[in-house]
A and B are shown apart, each in its own frame.
Chain A
Amino acid sequence: GAGVSQSPSNKVTEKGKDVELRCDPISGHTALYWYRQRLGQGLEFLIYFQGNSAPDKSGLPSDRFSAERTGESVSTLTIQRTQQEDSAVYLCASSPLGFSSAFFGQGTRLTVV
Chain B
Amino acid sequence: DQQVKQNSPSLSVQEGRISILNCDYTNSMFDYFLWYKKYPAEGPTFLISISSIKDKNEDGRFTVFLNKSAKHLSLHIVPSQPGDSAVYFCAASGRAGFQKLVFGTGTRLLVSP
Interface residues in chain A, defined as those with a beta carbon under 8 Å from any beta carbon in chain B? 4, 31, 33, 35, 41-45, 48, 50, 56, 59, 91, 93, 95-107
Contact = CB atoms under 8 A, between A and B. Distances in A.
B103 A35 contact: yes
A19 to B, nearest CB: 19
Interface in B49-107: 49, 89, 91, 93, 96-106
Interface of B: 6, 32, 34, 36, 41-46, 49, 89, 91, 93, 96-106
Nearest 3 pairs of A and B residues by beta carbon: A104-B43, A42-B105, A98-B97
B102 A103 contact: no
A63 B97 CA distance: 27
A4 B43 contact: yes
Contacts of B100: 33, 45, 48, 56, 59
Q: Is the interface of B mostly helix, strand, loop or mixed?
A: loop
A31 B97 contact: yes
Given A101-B34, A104-B44, A106-B42, A42 B97 contact: no
A93 B103 CA distance: 13
B105 A100 contact: no
Contacts of A35: 103
Contact of A105 (B43, B97, B102): B43
B32 A100 contact: yes
Give the interface centre of B42, B96, B101, B106 by most chain A CB atoms within 10 Å.
B101
Contacts of B105: 41-42
B101 A33 contact: yes
